[in-house]
Amino acid sequence: MGGLRLLLTLVLLLIQQTIAQNQEHKCAIEEHDHSTRIRKHQDLPETKFKLFEEGNDEDLCQIQTLQPETLEKCSFNASFPLIIIVHGWSVDGMLEDWIWKMASAFKSQERHFNIIIADWLSSAQVHYPIAVQNTRLIGLEIAEFLEWLESTVQFPRSKVHLIGYSLGAHVSGFAGSYIRGPNKIGRITGLDPAGPLFEGMSSTDRLSPDDANFVDAIHTFTQQHMGLSVGINQPVAHFDFYPNGGHFQPGCHIRHLIANIGIHGIRETVKCAHERSVHLFIDSLLNDDKQSMAYWCKDINTFDKGVCLSCRKNRCNTLGYNIKKRAMKRGRKLYLKTRSHMPYKVYHYQFKIHFINQTEEKLLEPTFTVSLTGTKEEVENVPFTPVDGIKGNKTYSFLITLDTDIGDLMMIKFKWEGIDVWANMWDTFQTIMPWTSEANRPGLLVKSIRVKSGETQEQMTFCSENVDNIKLLPAQEKTYVRCKNNASKQGRKTRMR
């Protein structure tokens, strides 16, 4: 973790230094009156609206506001929904590769879309604080563009979906807030909305649920250091998704990159976690049969206990394009685990186990593995460790995730990993006192295991295959099968909180 702290310290020091150096360049941005559209800057940065066509990445057709002939020239189809992709802060002045991947993913769908890339590079390739100021102005230009479409070809704003990455997420929010009239933009998706100069701000100064009929956000790099984070941590949408807690993402490991690539590795590590939000969204388009499910929960620590896998009363939702669009009065924070690569989907299970620790007051800190046999697949040796150890007579809850769909779970092999250091000592003890037996050795009693599947919502109870021997000792493995009175999917289900 030392290398990780170094990474974020360097990045955030750079941001803070940039902010300090450019204070004198800040100019006050007047409140925008929607009836008169008064602007302080006469040289308003120009946004280029480029229509994407598959196979023509380099020479995109530009649609220009107030020039209706460009709509026909670029083959804009008013009967198709409109997707506008909004990039973020730029270092090199180039459109990033993910933009073409996302546009192509939309084009691969059975539905037809108008895909427009909102190119604001001239205003994004500046010092970060200046780019932050420009987000309002670019948002205003997008709003004017959408109002012009509505008046020119009667294109309804409800068919508009803005997808903004990093600073582009707040650009999209401002665009939604600047739209005039009672009707809002249909949907805004924020992909790891930028944190610096937005964290802690009011809803009028950042992306918020008020900016569209439906707003969703995916947070992938929100770790707070020195009061700043690359991605915003606070909720900004109707549904805010926090994959893997919204911090560092699987596969974006700092220590390996520092060892091999140096400063370039640091930059790529930041980019990997921040941009993971983009690729999770693209994944939802390309892998329709592997949609990632997320669950409403208080925080990631609670989620890691597996107690939040409920879908009752809109407590779960699908991450990405195929989300169920429900504009809640109060936003919800949803958590999920993912893999390190596409397809990112994993299958979430809650394991609820009642342990009786026979070692009396001694706190045990064991590591367990489970091997699971389902109707489709078998997965072996999945590790998990109780965070707080095991003591006394208590029920513990764990979250276990699988990369594979094993089907209906039928059998569990539960093993206490480690070496039984007491085995030889116990053999010697039995030699001296032959009337003793292993049954007298203190261990962990595990009579049954309750399991809940997040994806199917099925709840099952598994009983020890050997009901006469439910004691588990180090290095031992026990087998558990569905209890005879276990409810089926259609029947009565065991209640798990």
Question: Cα separation of 416 and 441, whole Å?
Answer: 15
| Residue 274: active-site member | yes
Give the C-alpha distances (Å, rounded to integers) separating 149 from 32, 76, 78, 85: 21, 10, 9, 17
Q: For this structure, is 57 an active site residue?
A: no
User: Which member of 192, 240, 283, 304 is catalytic?
Assistant: 192
Distances (CA, A) of 241 to 247, 257, 326, 412: 11, 27, 14, 31
Residues 6+ apart with CB under 8 A from 437: 430
Contact 351, 449 (CB under 8 A): yes
* 222, 232 Cβ separation under 8 angstroms: yes
Is 206 labeled as ligand-binding? yes
Distance CA 495, CA 497 (A): 7
Angle between helices 254-261 and 2-21 (to 10 degrees): 80
- Would you say how long the chain is, in residues? 497
The whole-angstrom separation of Cα 365 and Cα 354 is 15
Q: Which of 123, 166, 177, 284 is catalytic?
A: 166
Q: Catalytic one among 170, 219, 238, 274?
A: 274
Nearest to 141 by CA among 115, 122, 166: 122
Buried b (16+ CB within 10 A) or exposed e, 182-217: eebbbbbbbbbbbbbbbbeeeeebbbbbebbbbbbb
Q: What angle do CA 204, 206, 209 make, to 5 degrees?
A: 75
Q: Show Cβ contacts of residue 404 under 8 Å, excluding neighbours closer than 6 positions.
A: 347, 377, 379
Residue 211 is assigned to a ligand binding site? yes
The neighbour count for residue 68, using CB atoms within 10 Å, is: 16
Distance (Å) of CA 180 to CA 33, 36, 39, 83, 144 = 10, 11, 16, 20, 9
Whether 225 is a known active-site residue: answer no
Cα–Cα distance, 155 to 80 (Å, whole number) = 9
- Cβ partners under 8 Å of residue 281, min gap 6: 102, 163, 189, 191, 218, 320, 321
* Residue numbers annotated as active site: 166, 192, 274
Q: Which residues are annotated as a binding site?
A: 206, 211
Return binding residues for Ca(2+).
Answer: 206, 211
